[in-house]
Amino acid sequence: MTVAETELPTIKRPTAYDQWLADEGLKVVSGLFIEDLNTVELGDWARRGCRAAVARLEGAEDVNDAHIIELAPGGETAPERHLYEEITYVVSGRGLTRVWNSAGDRSEFEWNAGSVFSVPLNAYAQHFNSSGSQPARFYTVTSAPLVMRLFHNRSFVYDCDFDFTDRFGAGKDDFSGAGTAYQNRVWESRFIPDAADIELKSWDARGAGGSNVMLEIADNSLCGHVSQFPVGTYKKAHRHNAGAHVIILGGTGFSLLWRDGEPVRKVDWKAGSIVVPPEQWFHQHFNSGPTPARYLALRWGSKKYPMFRQFLIDRPTTEGGDQIEYRDEDPSVRATFEAELARHGATSRMDDVYARAARPSR
């Protein structure tokens, strides 16, 4: 006797993270990029006592998200602790954050537009807007989607009483802005006063005279980097894991993003824009404006605590890596760049770069 097989209907069940978004009543921002963080429409986040939205962008693929939080003039958030990591970039405003744990350790620090900081894992935190006339806005990248789906128990995520004393407590950095430099381009700290002013080091591997610093922040698995590239230039195309939130700090330009074999998508950016390239999509950043272009990327990929597959982003695709060298790129890339420069009345500075790239390696 044979048993007939029947095809059951596919039912998409909401994840624990989906349910959390719905229960919190949060406004969700979707798409490939955000044109201007300063103008994103927010809703009420009753539990936190502030205005907010969640950036659930295409390229994050629910390996992380970002909470866009706005404090009213003189306002404050409700205190909270949680078991997901977070790194905050201050979009605008100035204020104060208090941090404490159950063991009695306490700290507080002031922040302003451009600051980057991380509340240590499962420490309590409360944010205060110091201005009585201007709002303050955060863009906070978090690991909430992974943690919600992993434990699918909200009480555990928010009410666990464990203190991570290896991340916050006696003898730990007090958000002074102090840090440790190592391996030439790595800066480890809990608080960066202004990402637009942090010192960068030359990074020839990405091309065109670019510079960079890698950020290890508050002993997180989430990390970041700040990169800058000169006027009239563009960076080499590369690909990596999902969830790299590229926040434009200064300059104007555009990015090309594509998956192998699919059409190229172009997004224009300026200070305040966000681009999040999806998993394994090649992407390439172009400076078509009159000033150097600088961005902050908040992402997975910590050198101390790696989480996912490590892409070979400094090795050419012709050698099994994940970076397209200038000599190997599609001719349409240069054509698009030249057309954008002409539209902005700017001049390419790539001739010497192309000439060096064309020389055979020794």
Percentage of the chain beyond pLDDT 90 is 85
* DSSP conformational letter for 183: T
Output the average pLDDT for the chain.
Answer: 93
Tell how strand 124-129 and strand 323-324 pair up. unpaired
Amino acid at 175: F
Segment 153-158 mean pLDDT: 98
* DSSP conformational letter for 311: P
Segment 30-48 mean pLDDT: 97
Q: What is the pLDDT of residues 168-217, one digit of tens each?
A: 987 666 799 999 998 889 999 999 999 999 999 998 888 888 999 999 99
| Phi, psi angle pair for 70, to nearest 5° | -125, 130
At a CB cut-off of 8 Å and minimum separation 6, what does 161 contact? 102
Q: According to the model, what pLDDT value does residue 105 have?
A: 92
Residue 157 and residue 146 in contact, taking contact as beta carbons nearer than 8 Å: no
Cβ neighbours around 195 below 10 Å, total = 22
* DSSP conformational letter for 319: G
- The whole-angstrom separation of Cα 79 and Cα 33 is 30
Residue 116 and residue 88 in contact, taking contact as beta carbons nearer than 8 Å: yes
Amino acid at 64: N
Beta bridge partners of 139: 68, 89
Beta bridge partners of 267: 255
End-to-end C-alpha distance for the chain, whole angstroms? 71
CA 249 to chain centre: 12
Segment 104-113 mean pLDDT: 95
Residue 107 and residue 99 in contact, taking contact as beta carbons nearer than 8 Å: yes
Beta bridge partners of 142: 65, 86
Q: What is the pLDDT of residues 322-360, one digit of tens each?
A: 999 999 999 999 999 999 999 999 999 999 889 888 765
Q: What is the pLDDT of residues 237-262, one digit of tens each?
A: 999 999 999 999 999 999 999 998 89
